[in-house]
Structure 1
Amino acid sequence: MSVSLYHAEYEALRNLMRDVRAKAGLTQVQMADALGVGQSYVSKLERGENFVDVLLFARWCLACGVKPGKTLDKLVGTQS
Structure 2
Amino acid sequence: MSASLYHVDYNDLRVLLRSVRVKAGLTQVQMAETLGVGQSYVSKLERGENFVDVLLYVRWCQACSIKPGAVLDELLDRTVKLRN
Same fold (TM over 0.5): yes
1:1-80 paired onto structure 2 within 5 Å: 1-80=1-80
% of aligned pairs identical?
Answer: 70
Q: TM-score normalised to the size of structure 1? A: 0.96
Moved more, 34-43 or 70-79: 70-79
* Residue type at the aligned position of 1:3: A
Q: Which runs of 4+ in 1 moved over 6 A?
A: none
Whole-angstrom distance in 2 between the partners of 1:24 and 1:2: 31
- SS at structure 1 position matched to 2:49: coil
Whole-angstrom distance in 2 between the partners of 1:36 and 1:2: 29
- SS at structure 1 position matched to 2:6: coil
Q: TM-score normalised to the size of structure 2? A: 0.92
Deviations, residues 8-63 of structure 1 (Å, cap 9, x unaligned): 10000000000000000000000000000000000000000000011111100000
Moved more, 22-31 or 68-77: 68-77
Unaligned stretches of 5+ in structure 2? none
Whole-angstrom distance in 1 between the partners of 2:58 and 2:77: 18
Number of matched residues? 80
- SS at structure 1 position matched to 2:4: coil
| C-alpha RMSD of matched pairs (Å) | 0.7
